[in-house]
Amino acid sequence: MKVLITGASGNLGRAVLGRLRDDRISVRATSRRPPAGSDVEWVVSDLATGDGLTEAVTGVDAVLHLASAPRRRQTYQVDVLGTRRLVVAAGTAGVRHIVYISIVGVDRVPIPYYRHKLAAEQVIAAGPVPWSVLRATQFPQFLDDMLTASARLGPVIGDRAVLAQPVDPREVAARLAARLVAGPLGGVEELGGPQVLRFDEAARAWRAARGSRRPLLPVRIPGRLGRELRAGGLATEALPRGVRTWADHLADTYGGTGRK
């Protein structure tokens, strides 16, 4: 089997590359800016324009579609229209399976980026290529970055009742690799981390691991967004779950246990 990985230069992409190579699966990686000096086969392509997509999908059996643009003005162009371009090119090339990485909560939490991810899921489901969608919960690095940003003015600011379920990207990579081997699901599966944490619990562990005394300043998120986040819109009850905890991430990152 030969697999094309879009967005292979991102955090998840690097984890997936390593996992597939460990499993001795032949890979081709694509990015707008491939890294120099890599021994992986890279193809330059751009989902926003379609440039290079035909070359990228030619001769591969499956596509792992990880590329996204969450912080760019081109989110719709990349995540929705770009996914459509990729699916059409893959269908023409005779690709037998496309696996798309999405996010737990895209169908519940009213965030504009999530609407685009849900629309991309629908594009894949309506396309000519047999498909699978894996929705994962947030990566611990995302929660870490959010806490860092919220503390820039001094206290850690956030809605303490918001629920999160961080999952290690290496475990997501392993599930994606397993799905490739198992073949098209024709549906959506979910993967979450081992623990559902309140924001204040996660923040306390983060402060302990960093040796920080910053206070927590609770700010309630209003409206439907806040209600969904507090009700567990970013969490899943799906089994099996990942095993690496938030405390494991904090220990790896800061050397503290995060258990105070």
pLDDT tens across 193-234, in order?
Answer: 999 999 999 999 999 999 998 999 999 999 999 999 999 999
Average pLDDT, integer, range 33-48: 87
Residue 15 has pLDDT above 50, yes or no: yes
pLDDT tens across 162-197, in order?
Answer: 999 999 999 999 999 999 999 999 999 999 999 999
Residue 259 has pLDDT above 60, yes or no: no
**What integer pLDDT is reported at residue 256 of this predicted model?**
57
Average pLDDT, the chain: 94
pLDDT tens across 142-156, in order?
Answer: 999 999 998 888 899
For the domain spanning 2-138+168-191, the CATH number is 3.40.50.720
**What integer pLDDT is reported at residue 257 of this predicted model?**
52
**What integer pLDDT is reported at residue 36 of this predicted model?**
75
**Domain assignments of the chain as residue spans, ordered by start:** 2-138+168-191
pLDDT tens across 92-134, in order?
Answer: 999 999 999 999 999 999 999 999 999 999 999 999 999 999 9
Query: SS3 letters for the chain?
Result: CEEEEECCCCHHHHHHHHHHHHCCCEEEEEECCCCCCCCCEEEECCCCCCCCHHHHHCCCCEEEECCCCCCCCCHHHHHHHHHHHHHHHHHHHCCCEEEEEEECCCCCCCCHHHHHHHHHHHHHHHCCCCEEEEEECCCHHHHHHHHHHHCCCCCEEECCCCEECCCCHHHHHHHHHHHHHHCCCCCEEEECCCCCEEHHHHHHHHHHHHCCCCCEEECCCCHHHHHHHHCCCCCCCCCCCCCCCHHHHHHHHHCCCCCC
**What integer pLDDT is reported at residue 138 of this predicted model?**
97
